[in-house]
Amino acid sequence: MGKMSVNLCGIELDNPVIPASGTFGFGYEFAELYDINMLGTFSFKGTTRDPRFGNPTPRIAETPNGMINAVGLQNPGVEKVISEELPKLKKCFNKPVMANVSGFSVEEYVYTCEKIDKCDQVGWIEVNISCPNVHGGGMAFGTTPEGAAEVTRAVKAVTTKPIIIKLSPNVTDIVSIAKACEEAGADGISLINTLLGMRIDLRTRKPVIANKMGGFSGSAIFPVAVRMVYQVAHAVKIPVIGMGGVSSAEDVIEMMLAGASAVEVGAANLIEPYACKNIIEDLPRVMEKYGIENLSDIIGGVR
Amino acid sequence: MKQSIFTIKENVALTSNVYRMLLEGDTGAVTNCGQFVNIKLDGLFLRRPISVCDCEGNILTLIYKVVGKGTEQMSQMIEGDTLDVLTGLGNGYDTSLAGENPMLLGGGVGVPPMYMLCKKLISEGKKVSVVLGFNRADEIFYEDEFKALGADVTVTTVDGSYGVKGFVTDVMKNADYSYFYTCGPEPMLRAVYNTSTTEGQFSFEERMGCGFGACMGCSCKTITGYKRICKEGPVMKKEEILWEK
């Protein structure tokens, strides 16, 4: 066991650094740049039952220290992910990968998770519950404890791998939602998904993004993420993955002090393709600077 | 794709708001004309994608128009300053389909990528005609540079203050060409699509997140499926384009 290793729901990671879903594709673009086996793992592109093109463009807007995206879960659908993407990934990544699953109804989550659960390459299933429930008036599953628990329970009933529920920060009481997921059988919690944001072009007076609103990410949201990770990690017993604006080894350590067992890196990968490699290589220096012997010792260590 | 640090050798105004920047560094990843680079600028979160105008030895030429904060900041940089640049992005133009006398149509800041393409086609022994479209005489740049390459150059201005009055398509509709290549604002691309009588290639623009295929921010629908402008594009063949919106 190395000084940087951590345990995530029973699976050992060489280090806690995990590229976040939607910022790392299925890994190949990055495998051309560096050996992605140095990562703890990575969370692959959000996968749905059916293929999706996503939203119209423009899908991207800039913000101070961050960005807004409204990609809209573009993905080839679970069948193609299993038949094409995973075999391709096998050639450049030999660790268990984290599958990221989205859905617009409980049945869709169940269908996709059940299929993904049978893939040997998959170590964990991260379930994104920030999507609107088409049968529930369009409210996102993750905005109520009941909705979050319903998805968790249904997915747990058809899977064997650890289920990590990825929470939306666009709620009034994230702790109650995290607790509801834990009670419904979740093996872990990851947070935060993007914050709902919007930009307006002064010249055209139109929203910059065609979808009007989108998910706000990047270093600007880091303090919000640290706060929510702290609140949730101190309220549940299951492991928490912290994410939101992480872009340095110092940020990884701060997230872990707040209570994260592992840390996802999102928008930083898009700006700096070597972001995760740089963070992993910088961690030993920062650990030494702050007198940290083993990273796993500092989880939730905020005083 | 390669990430490296480039040093600014020159940064001069060609018109009131169009600049040419020469960058010295590792250009090894630039493998084709029509590709682009993505530039990190201090204090701005997203990189700025800029098309490559030319690449000779270790010198990269970029021509950009000041349209917002990023390009404004670039315009104020001076010789000796350095930039973090991702190079070798996008597919670029396929010159193997050009035929004997291809036509190149560039509009505004769609002109720069035509330069390296023109150079390549001429080196491949093609008889190249170039149509450069601008709004007014004071916006024109690179007419002489294209002539120096040996191309037959026509300039159009919308207001008629220089060259042929009208649009690049006004020249195209009366011309004889074996194939065409174009880059410019979308209304111009649509007009070229409708005017052209041969096959050809179009270079598209879109707001990008990463510029290297990771974020799906710049996807578009084509006849042959979904494509990322930054990765499978920015150049698309006429027969695969699906106009939307």
Domain B95-203 CATH class label: alpha beta
Length of chain B: 245
Q: Which residues have CB under 8 Å from B174's CB, separation 6+? A: none
Q: Over 80: is that where the pLDDT of A204 sits?
A: yes
Which of A18, A25, A5, A92 has the alpha carbon at shortest distance from A244?
A: A18
Question: How many Å is the Cα radius of gyration of chain A?
Answer: 18
Eight-state DSSP code of residue A111: H
Q: What are phi and psi of B92, to 5 degrees?
A: 85, 175
Domain contains A92: yes
pLDDT in tens, B148-201: 999 999 999 999 999 999 999 999 999 999 999 999 999 999 999 999 999 999
Task: Find the DSSP H helices in chain B.
Answer: 69-75, 112-123, 143-149, 168-172, 186-195
C-alpha–C-alpha distance, residues A60 and A67, integer Å: 7
pLDDT in tens, B33-61: 999 999 999 999 999 999 999 999 999 99
Query: Residue B203: what residue type?
Result: S
Q: Which residues of A touch B215 (CB under 8 A)?
A: 22-23, 60, 69, 71, 270
Residue A131 designated active-site:
yes
- Subunit contact B216:A274, Cβ cutoff 8 A: no
Q: What is the DSSP string of A231-249?
A: HHHTT-SS-EEEESS--SH
Please confirm whether the linkage preceding B234 is cis (ω < 30° from 0). yes
CB B39 within 8 A of CB B48: yes
Q: Which residues of B touch A54 (CB under 8 A)?
A: 216, 219
**HSE, side-chain direction, 13 A CA sphere, residue A266:** 29
Q: Which domain holds residue A138?
A: 6-298
The number of folded domains in chain A is: 1
- Subunit contact A270:B1, Cβ cutoff 8 A: no
- Subunit contact A71:B220, Cβ cutoff 8 A: no
Q: Is the dihedral of CA A128, A132, A135, A136 positive or negative?
A: positive
Which of B72, B76, B38, B32 has the alpha carbon at shortest distance from B54?
A: B32
- Subunit contact A67:B209, Cβ cutoff 8 A: yes
Indicate the residue of A33, A59, A63 with minimum beta-carbon distance to B45. A63
Length of chain A: 303
Q: Which residues of A touch B210 (CB under 8 A)?
A: 23, 269-271, 273
Question: What chain A residue is nearest to B45 in terms of C-alpha separation?
Answer: A65
Domain contains A303: no
Q: Which residues of A touch B89 (CB under 8 A)?
A: none
What was the pLDDT predicted at B151? 97
Q: Over 70: is that where the pLDDT of B214 sits?
A: yes
CB A220 within 8 A of CB A205: no
Average pLDDT over residues A1-26: 96
Query: Residue B46: what residue type?
Result: L
- Subunit contact B207:A58, Cβ cutoff 8 A: yes
pLDDT in tens, B49-98: 999 999 999 999 999 999 999 999 999 999 999 999 999 999 999 999 99
Q: Which residues have CB under 8 Å from A158's CB, separation 6+? A: A110, A113, A114, A117
Confidence of residue B15 (pLDDT cuts 50, 70, 90): very high
A149 by Cβ neighbours in 10 Å (0-12 / 13-18 / 19+) ranks as: buried
What was the pLDDT predicted at A200? 97
What was the pLDDT predicted at A1? 66
What was the pLDDT predicted at A145? 97
Question: What chain B residue is nearest to A68 in terms of C-alpha separation?
Answer: B209
Q: Over 90: is that where the pLDDT of B212 sits?
A: yes
CB A228 within 8 A of CB A191: yes
Q: What are phi and psi of B182, to 5 degrees?
A: -145, 155
3-state secondary structure of B12: strand
The ipTM (two decimal places) reads: 0.93
Domain contains A224: yes
Q: Which residues of B touch A63 (CB under 8 A)?
A: 45
What was the pLDDT predicted at B245? 61
pLDDT in tens, A32-74: 999 999 999 999 999 999 999 999 999 999 999 999 999 999 9
Does the beta carbon of A206 lie under 8 angstroms from any beta carbon of chain B?
Answer: no
Domain contains A73: yes
CB A156 within 8 A of CB A138: no
Q: Over 80: is that where the pLDDT of A133 sits?
A: no
| Domain locations in chain B as residue ranges | 2-89, 95-203
What was the pLDDT predicted at B20? 98
Indicate the residue of B215, B226, B245 with minimum beta-carbon distance to A23. B215
C-alpha–C-alpha distance, residues B241 and B245, integer Å: 13
Please state, in angstroms and as integers, the Cα–Cα distance from residue A81 to each residue in A95, A182, B101, following that order: 17, 28, 44
Q: Over 80: is that where the pLDDT of A138 sits?
A: no
| Token pair belonging to B14 | 């060609």
What CATH number has the domain spanning B2-89?
Answer: 2.40.30.10
- Subunit contact A65:B45, Cβ cutoff 8 A: yes
Indicate the residue of A29, A53, A69 with minimum beta-carbon distance to B226. A53
B197 by Cβ neighbours in 10 Å (0-12 / 13-18 / 19+) ranks as: exposed
User: Among residues A9, A113, A131, A181, which one is catalytic?
Assistant: A131
Q: What is the DSSP string of B136-173?
A: SGGG--SHHHHHHHT-EEEEEETTSSSSEES-HHHHHT
C-alpha–C-alpha distance, residues B95 and B117, integer Å: 8
**Closest-CA distance of chain B to residue A157, Å:** 32
Q: Which residues of A touch B226 (CB under 8 A)?
A: 53, 74
The CATH number of residue A95's host domain is: 3.20.20.70
Average pLDDT over residues A268-293: 98
Domain contains A1: no
What was the pLDDT predicted at B25? 98
- Interface probe with B: pick from A28, A33, A43, A57, most Cβ of B within 10 Å: A57
| Token pair belonging to A183 | 């009670």
Query: Residue A229: what residue type?
Result: V
